[in-house]
Amino acid sequence: MLNYQIYQSQLKDSPSFGKYYARIVSQGTLHIPELAEHMASHNTPLAPGYLEAVLKEAVKCIKELALDGKRIILDDLASFGLSVKHKMGAATADEFSVAKNVESVVLQSMGVGEFSKSMLTQSAKLKESNSYVSPRTASSSTEEETPVDPSGGGSSETPDDGGEMGE
């Protein structure tokens, strides 16, 4: 079950400004040691310390390969790769320069395979979080809801959900 909270978009130069959206409420954070402990609890013969070492090496290798221009896919979970964050566009190709037009390079990840957007849209169950005071005027529903995505894509006016990954 995924809990969500309602928030009002504050993106002033966007068609989403002032509209209400949902964001997932995190139920905790796990780092590599906690993930290794969790993995070891699944009846594996591998010790948490060994799993932790493997996970740390995987993170190191993913960073190394991404910086070498490779895209890394963890099957049925996520695809990792680097992307350019621009300061501004150049009027012509001859006027383009990294110093003037590129702000930074950023790591991007995207759900793939059995963890893709279409699978999550069909399977995720959402419930409004009791820990958030909703801006609703009437009492909110406590029933589970599954998102509906008839087009197979997202709304072009939906802003970034401002979740923990972006903060």
pLDDT, position 88: 94
Angle at 108 between CA 24 and CA 98, to 5 degrees: 135
pLDDT, position 107: 95
pLDDT, position 139: 54
Low-confidence ranges of the chain (pLDDT < 50): 153-158, 160-167
Say which residues have a Cβ less than 8 Å from residue 11's Cβ, sequence separation at least 6: 17, 159
